Amino acid sequence: MHIILAYPRGFCSGVNIAINTLESAISRFGLPLYVYHEIVHNSWVVEDFKSRGVKFVDDIDEVPSGSRLMFSAHGVAPDIRVVAAQRDIETIDATCPLVANVHREVIRYAAANYKIILIGHSGHDEVVGTMNEAPDSIRLIEKEDDIKKLNFTPDEKLVILTQTTLSVTETAKIIELLREKFPQNIIESNSNICYATQHRQDAITKLASEADVVLIIGSQNSSNSKRLYERGKSLGIRSILIDGPDNIDCNWFNDNDTVLISAGASAPEYVVQNCVQILKKNFNTTIEERRTCKDDALQINNKTLPSD
């Protein structure tokens, strides 16, 4: 078996920031410490913090007044901040700077009387938080088919924004169709897909043709991990998404297979390496790492927004 380890893979800057912020809070303040939603969407990371006493909640009513609450990498709706302040809950914000940037764009476009078409997944923590910044100004669409539900009057100014962890190719197609349907209305179109999502998808696109199987390490509720799995599938390569080594079934592979391995932006490298160890134990393996981009450091698009 030949294993190609895609690079970049795994933790992005936003996930590193969130995890380091939680580590620092544990050291500095101790327990009890609450986190609103999963700090990042990865079961290994969350279970590790749970075993150390951190409490994850999905409802702010579960957080006692006067305690400490951290907001996850996916950001939070503004009404949660208000409730926290009213209940004297001390908050620590671990929102990824790129998600916070989308919140700022929503606020400023809404204030400039734009209607915002947000492309994203309904119910995802990031989308819930983003939409709540200006619920009356935003329409959410998830897929091409949703475009037909949209209607705007000719004088309405539109801007397209997106969730940060979408499929690059599908989102580009949806934006193109929106521009065709509303050529007069759409003034701005900003894909907010982040550098980390883009780089990890690019790596699969560039390397998948060399592989018999694409193996993605990441949790099922991780949007960018699922997009990597879908990218492999869309290229016609058998693709598998697993949370970790316990999920590997060696019958999936043959001795002569080339296996391309990548990991979602919230999947720890030690989980990737543990998966590689399982394959090494069961097959004669050769391993190489292939870099498809030089610099995977945090990148923020500097755009001129309406109120600038």
Site for ligand SF4 in 22-51 (CB under 6 A): none
Q: How far apart are CA 205 and CA 290, in angstroms?
A: 13
217 within 8 A of 275, measured Cβ to Cβ: yes
Q: Could you tell me which of 9, 48, 46 has the C-alpha nearest to residue 273? A: 9
For residue 31, the minimal CB distance to ligand SF4 (Å) is 25
User: E strands of 94-145, at which residues?
Assistant: 114-119, 138-141
Cβ closest to ligand SF4, residue 4 vs residue 194: 194
Q: How far apart are CA 204 and CA 198, in angstroms?
A: 10
Q: Take residue 201 and report the two structure tokens written for it.
A: 């998808």
Q: Is 96 in the site for ligand SF4 (CB under 6 A)?
A: yes
Residue with CB nearest ligand SF4? 14
Q: Is 162 in the site for ligand SF4 (CB under 6 A)?
A: no
Q: Is 164 in the site for ligand SF4 (CB under 6 A)?
A: yes
For residue 125, the minimal CB distance to ligand SF4 (Å) is 11
Q: Is 204 in the site for ligand SF4 (CB under 6 A)?
A: no
Q: How far apart are CA 283 and CA 256, in angstroms?
A: 9
For residue 95, the minimal CB distance to ligand SF4 (Å) is 9
Secondary structure (DSSP) of 173-217: HHHHHHHHH-TTTEEEE-----HHHHHHHHHHHHHGGG-SEEEEE
For residue 279, the minimal CB distance to ligand SF4 (Å) is 26
Site for ligand SF4 in 212-241 (CB under 6 A): 224
Q: How far apart are CA 206 and CA 187, in angstroms?
A: 33
Q: Look up 126 and say whether it is catalytic.
A: yes
Q: Is 165 in the site for ligand SF4 (CB under 6 A)?
A: yes
Stretch that binds ligand SF4, among 49-57, 149-157, 194-202, 237-245 (CB under 6 A): 194-202
For residue 106, the minimal CB distance to ligand SF4 (Å) is 15
Say whether 57 sits in a helix, a strand or coil. strand
Q: Is 261 in the site for ligand SF4 (CB under 6 A)?
A: no
- 3, 12, 217, 263: residue in contact with ligand SF4 (rule CB under 6 A): 12
Q: How far apart are CA 63 and CA 173, in angstroms?
A: 42
Q: Which of 105, 126, 133, 230 is catalytic?
A: 126
Say whether 20 sits in a helix, a strand or coil. helix
- 5, 19, 98, 260: residue in contact with ligand SF4 (rule CB under 6 A): 98
Cβ closest to ligand SF4, residue 89 vs residue 98: 98
CA 229 from centre of chain: 14
Q: Take residue 208 and report the two structure tokens written for it.
A: 């998948």
- 33, 119, 160, 196: residue in contact with ligand SF4 (rule CB under 6 A): 196
Which residues belong to the active site? 126
Binding positions for ligand SF4, rule: CB under 6 A = 12-15, 73, 96, 98-99, 164-165, 194, 196-197, 224, 265
